[in-house]
Amino acid sequence: MRTDDAALRRLHEATLAALADAGEFLLEEANRTAPIEEGTLIGSGMVTVDRARAKAIVSYDTPYAVRQHEDTRLRHTNGRRAKWLEHTAREQSSRIGSFLADRIRQASR
């Protein structure tokens, strides 16, 4: 294996690890404003990393997650809201971008 190939492989693995960490951060932050009654929705949150596309996916796996997220007519209590994942991603985008850039920069040294 060439040195360049090994370096690229290390950079790719570091990128995937950074994406997983960034996804976990987003999930944790999003859960702070996700609708909550019994905690089932929040408990179903997960992060999946698509290794081939170098992409992190944050999702919720309940039958009602999409409706709770998309239906802005639903009322939520205690600072909870519809579109919680979308809003949190937008609100935290700068912080997540900086985190990813720092981690990738460190890995490329």
Q: Is the pTM of this model over 0.85?
A: yes
Residue 13 phi/psi, 5-degree rounding, is -65, -40
Q: Give the count of domains, the chain.
A: 1
Q: Which domain holds residue 80?
A: 3-107
Give residue-wise pLDDT tens across range 30-53.
999 999 989 999 999 999 999 999
Residue 1 scores a pLDDT above 60: no
Give residue-wise pLDDT tens across range 5-33.
888 999 999 999 999 999 999 999 999 99
Residue 78 has a pLDDT of 86
Q: Any idea of the CA torsion for 42, 94, 79, 33, to the nearest 10 degrees?
A: -10
Q: What is the CA radius of gyration of the chain?
A: 17
Residue 109 has a pLDDT of 80
HEC string of the chain?
Answer: CCHHHHHHHHHHHHHHHHHHHHHHHHHHHHHCCCCCCCCHHHHCEEEEEECCCCEEEEEECCCCHHHHHHCCCCCCCCCCCCCHHHHHHHHHHHHHHHHHHHHHHHHCC
Residue 57 phi/psi, 5-degree rounding, is -120, 125
